[in-house]
Amino acid sequence: MRLSTKTRYGVRAIFDIAYHGQDSPQSAAAQARDIARREDIPLRYLEQIFQDLKRAGLVESKRGPRGGYYLKRPSSDITLAEVVRALQGPIEETFLLEEDENNAAPPGNGASSRQVTAGLWKELADHVSSWFAGVTIADLVKRGNQIGVPRAGAGQPMYYI
């Protein structure tokens, strides 16, 4: 299975919003340009990704000087499966091969090897889909904390006037 660049960037963008404390509309929203800089994602591409994530109900945006993007639900309620589906489509389709889509037995020949492999790919898709559904964005935030990913503003010198 290969996740698209769009999906990998989208997961990093949602992680970034949650990790840097933009988990709700009550806090200041994360600006796309800051996310793009921190995650090394082209800004125009990131904005397209956010449109897909908005359509899926995962993020929301607000305008104005404190505007930007925030998670529409708590990070503990958003799964990796939802993000992947929003950006790449059904996870199960990643494993379906064109030749296995019509896995009916050939006329007069009984069962075919196609049915064996089609069943195998379906089982694998179910396992992967289940694993993605078991991982939340909050889990990614915990991982970021465990490995010491620096927080926005951490280590930045303070200037006083």
CATH number of residue 68's parent domain: 1.10.10.10
Please tell me the pTM assigned to this model. 0.81
pLDDT (tens place) for every residue of the chain, 161 residues total:
788 999 999 999 999 999 987 555 556 688 999 999 999 999 999 999 999 999 999 999 988 877 889 999 999 999 999 999 999 998 888 776 655 455 554 555 556 777 788 888 888 889 999 999 999 999 999 999 999 999 876 554 444 44
Identify whether 62 is part of a domain. yes
110 burial class (0-12, 13-18, 19+ CB within 10 angstroms)?
exposed
Identify whether 161 is part of a domain. no
Identify whether 101 is part of a domain. yes
Q: Which residues contact 144 (CB under 8 A, 6 or more apart)?
A: 15, 19
Identify whether 160 is part of a domain. no
User: Per the structure block, which two tokens stand in for 103?
Assistant: 């896995």
